[in-house]
Amino acid sequence: MGLRCGIVGLPNVGKSTLFNAISSAKAESANYPFCTIEPNVGVVTVPDDRLQILEELVHPERVLPTIIEFVDIAGLVKGASKGEGLGNKFLANIREVDAIIHVIRCFDDPNIVHVAGGVDPVFDKDVIDTELQIKDLESVDKKIQKVERTAKAGDAKAKKELASLQKFKAHLEDGKNARSLDVTEEDLEAVEDLKLLTIKPVIYAANVDEASINSGNQFVDALKEHVKDENAEVVVISAAIESQIAEIEDEEEKQMFLEEYGLKESGLNKLIRASYSILNLITYFTAGVKEVRAWTIQKGWKAPAAAGVIHSDFEKGFIRAEVIKLKDYQEFKSEAKIKEAGKMAVEGKEYVVQDGDIMHFRFNV
């Protein structure tokens, strides 16, 4: 399954600088609003040490990690929901992503203009939230007008749908994001076709200066306090440091650079982990002499659905899954010895795939 994260934020918060640093695509970066007009897409491989372990054990012809797409969406401004700053086009781009990475400026630099005149992460967050909420409210209102007619005619299904829509309407009018509403499956079904912007999972990327990368600062503290009741993640990152990391090709040199700043991993890795966490994703592997490959699925998926990520025929004709745990592969070194030791599990259609499973699927179409 493809994973797309949209990078949003007010102009001059470091959004495009961050995108340039973490992706193979390059967005124009400049000290003025709207330097990115079309959304740029950068495809990044997901780092996973387990792939290297499997490569050393299996010696495949190739290794294929899973990927994540970062979409750089041009800076939003106050009034975007009404078309300000080409807002309608940018808001439409956000609808197509799985999660939002909201870059928020948490550093002070008099040489970089702030559209609001000063650094205020809470203000920045609320500006974006308000624009997205207004757009969602428009979408909900339009659907309410359509459903109301059927509900008034006595249609029971329409009445339930209307009640769900009105619940979202009241929440949005209260200045709250749809993701924070306590909802049922019925409620979610009522707005599924609307692709609400504020229902998408969000990661707040607090962009700090180099001096604050480990200890944080008052701006980060204010942001964390403001979003503490949201189902969201806050990742502290320095776009400036990420830009320097992006220029280093040698892995050992890159590790030494990180250690100089007291970092265990890059900001990119932090964002990827946060994306997987907030979207409830896990990874399983297939391993053979042709290839070792990582596959991304939703946590809780059963074996047939996981097989379907490889090919729809695998899911349709699913017979069974042969499952190996990585620790057993490391201990017994080969698939044959794993079988001899009775460590290869044979699982049926009800098996819930676990993160890190190594799987072979048997199917018949």
- Phi then psi for 345, rounded to 5 degrees? -85, 140
Largest CA distance in the chain: 70
Structural tokens at position 258: 């990180």
Q: Are 40 and 71 in contact (CB under 8 A)?
A: yes
CB within 8 Å of 231: residues ≥ 6 apart: 179, 180, 201, 278
Encoding tokens for residue 320?
Answer: 């069974």
Angle formed by the axes of helices 267-278 and 15-22, nearest 10°:
100
**Listing from the earlier edge strand, what are the strands of the sheet with 62-64?**
62-64, 291-298, 281-287, 358-363, 318-324, 345-347
Q: What residue type is 300 in one-letter code?
A: G
Annotated binding site: 12-17
Judge contact between 320 and 348, C-beta under 8 A.
Answer: yes
Q: Which residues 6+ apart lie within 8 Å of 358 measured at CB?
A: 54, 284, 285, 286, 287, 323, 324, 325, 326, 329
> Binding site for ATP, residues?
12-17
Q: How big is the CA angle at 205 (ends 251 and 169), to the nearest 5 degrees?
A: 145
Provide the pairing of β-strand 99-105 with 4-8.
parallel
Give dist(CA 99, CA 112) in Å, integer: 28
CATH top-level class of 300-363? alpha beta
Looking at the DSSP bridge assignments, the partners of residue 172 are none
* 138-156 residue pLDDT tens: 999 999 999 999 999 888 9
The two beta strands, 62-64 and 233-237, are unpaired
Burial class for 266, CB neighbours closer than 10 Å (0-12, 13-18, 19+) = buried
Closest Cα to residue 242, out of 261, 219, 224? 261
- Options 1.10.10.10, 3.40.718.10, 1.10.600.10, 1.10.150.300; CATH for 129-194 is 1.10.150.300
* Residue entry with tokens 């042969």: 322
DSSP conformation letters of 176-210:
--GGGS---HHHHHHHGGGT-STTS-EEEEEE--G
Phi, psi of 136 (to 5 degrees): -65, -40
Q: Report strand pairing: 67-72 vs 4-8.
A: parallel
Query: How crowded is residue 313: how many other Cβ atoms within 10 Å of its Cβ?
Result: 13
pLDDT at 91: 74
- What CATH code is assigned to 4-47+66-118+199-278? 3.40.50.300
Q: Which residues of the chain have pLDDT under 70?
A: 1, 24-39, 75-90, 112-117
Domain 129-194 shares a fold with domain 300-363: no
Domain ranges of the chain: 4-47+66-118+199-278, 129-194, 300-363
The β-bridge partners of 45 are 67
CB atoms within 10 A of CB 281: 21
